[in-house]
Amino acid sequence: MNNYIEKLKSRSPLIHNITNMVTINDVANIELACGARPIMAMAPQEMDEVTGICDGLNLNIGTPSEERFEAMRIAARMAAKKNIPIVLDLVGVGVSRFRMDFVMSLLDEVHVDVIKGNLSEVKAVMEHGRCDGGVEVTDTAAESDAKALACRAALRYGCICVITGETDYVAELCDEADCYDNNESSLMSTDAMGTGVIDNCVVNAVASDADGYTHNYRVGSITGGHFMMKRVTGTGCMLSGLICAFVAADCDDKYGAVTAALSCMKSAGGLAASDMAEHGRETNSCYFIKPGNAAYRDRLIDAVYHICDGDYELM
């Protein structure tokens, strides 16, 4: 991960975020923490100018509106024109037809470099269906299904697909892959365990497409984090901003940059929890409130800052 952090700190990419209004402040702060420079412009009238000077575009559909979707369309067209990497976060895509129709039209019009969502969200896009239960994952499918789903999405949209959960999965189609095979072959990978640790760049043969071709993929699985990450709204939105920053800093190795961002976030989640456990009680006061999810959010951003500042030795 350290090589990607060095590139991120050296380049300090400017990231245009059209993101969830609930978490916009946290997205900006976590990008600042990692060494990137956020800009949060949302007016359609300035999209061409703003996106045109940026190094990455982060799109998040969590709080949709006609104006915001129009801004995203204009920004995405400019990013595609100038080869600026695009990250699309599928927040709640299956909740409404409004969100789904926008995502499908955007994917038809421009190439997105990274698609990110939980299992239900990515599944909804692949099946053009609904995922009930708000923006949280409700799918009961086994996590092994997430690997195959990530690969299918990577194949369909020619992008890197990230599926988040207790274990994060990332998949990318390898150009040198194709070999004819009428039978579906099983997905195989070696999962590295540990906080923020990734199965790095393993090439796997996975299920064939409709034409009977088998493709090769790089598939990563990232473990770690902490259950408190689910108690803070916007950790997924922050992750998308982090992914965009890492990718913008290293466009030549987008897969590696994505996995580094995922590992950074998982590691930060664990470090934030450890810090709360060790330093949570104020000893110089007779009154105290034990730290909860708000304190955890602050420590999570701080942990990203210290990871990217070189205070922790990570893989």
Residue type, 297: R
DSSP reduced 3-state for 70: helix
Q: How many CB atoms lie within 10 A of CB 257?
A: 28
User: Is 276 annotated as contributing to ligand binding?
Assistant: no
**What are the angstrom distances between the C-alpha of 243 and each of 216, 291, 306?**
23, 28, 17
Angle (deg, nearest 10), helices 254-279 and 2-11:
100
DSSP 113: S
Contacts of 88 (CB under 8 A, 6+ apart): 59, 61, 103, 106, 107, 112, 114, 115, 116
* Dist CA 239 CA 66 (whole Å): 25
298-314 CB burial, b ≥16 within 10 A, e <16: ebbbbbbbebbeeeeeb
Tokens of 188: 């195989």
**What are the angstrom distances between the C-alpha of 28 and each of 15, 109, 241?**
9, 27, 8
Q: How many CB atoms lie within 10 A of CB 22?
A: 15
| 104 touches 126 (CB < 8 A) | no
User: Is 116 annotated as contributing to ligand binding?
Assistant: yes
DSSP reduced 3-state for 39: strand
| 45 touches 34 (CB < 8 A) | no
* Dist CA 100 CA 124 (whole Å): 8
DSSP 290: -
User: Is 234 annotated as contributing to ligand binding?
Assistant: yes
User: Is 283 annotated as contributing to ligand binding?
Assistant: no
Which residues belong to the annotated binding site for substrate? 40, 234
Q: Residue ranges for the binding site?
A: 40, 116, 164, 234
Binding-site residue ranges for ATP:
116, 164
